[in-house]
A = this chain, B = another copy of it.
Amino acid sequence: MSQTWLGIREEVHRRLRDGEWKPGDLIPSEAALSDEFNCARATVNRALQSLAEQGLLERKRKAGTRVAATPVPKAMFQIPLLRAEVEARGSTYRYLLLKKSRRKAPRNISARMKLESAANLLHIKALHFSGDTPYCLEDRWINPDVVDGLSDVDFSQTSANEFLLRNIPYTQGELSLGAREANAEHAELLDIPETSALFEMNRSTWLDGLPVTTVTLLFPPGYTLSTTL
């Protein structure tokens, strides 16, 4: 009776669900399981690695595989590419550059980018539309020392969001989500009442330790980020 790695993952998953193996327990070794399921060890390995990636198991060489003490569920989200997201909903995407200037980064920005010296950065503000309604307000800082060909790009047509996601690589990044009350400027630009609750997404990226860009995206009420578990 030969098994597929998906089948084995499913069976192990069931044992975890049913409490046959409880949090903190050491489960049988790959060798033992490959014997039980009558398959190669590599197949068991594939299944267990998959469950470990999801955070249900913790594996250590020699120490064996144990059920995660606090099985923290993990969820994958797709980071929106604004144009694609709008067009996927059948609306026409439009983009408006509000501001583009070169200036010293304020404190909070250089902190977010982990900049030592207050470098001269490119600051961009832009609005993204879905049809005629504002979809997202973008506030971005770019490090011109790291981004090649930046001066060639006139951000009145291509959005910085798109340009950077498509062309500029990064090796590390941080992403955080939260909520923020709209201020007067937000309210006017996004065409919503003041005090509305905005969905906020912050992303910063680095290339080999050098800060590339940091951006805040603000979405008007009603926007949701969804995924399946």
Contact = CB atoms under 8 A, between A and B. Distances in A.
Given A70-B84, A195-B181, A176 B225 contact: yes
A81 interface: yes
Interface stretch (A114-122, A130-138, A197-205): A197-205
Given A72-B79, A72-B84, A229-B174, A179 B199 contact: yes
Contacts of A64: none
Interface string A66-78: 0000111111111
A144 interface: no
A164 to B, nearest CB: 11
Copies in the complex: 2
Interface of A: 17-19, 23, 55, 70-81, 84, 165-167, 169-170, 172-182, 195-200, 203, 205, 219, 221-229
26 contacts: A17-B169, A72-B80, A72-B84, A75-B77, A75-B79, A76-B76, A172-B229, A173-B228, A174-B228, A174-B229, A175-B228, A175-B229, A176-B224, A176-B226, A177-B199, A178-B225, A179-B180, A179-B197, A179-B199, A179-B219, A179-B223, A181-B221, A182-B197, A195-B195, A196-B197, A203-B229
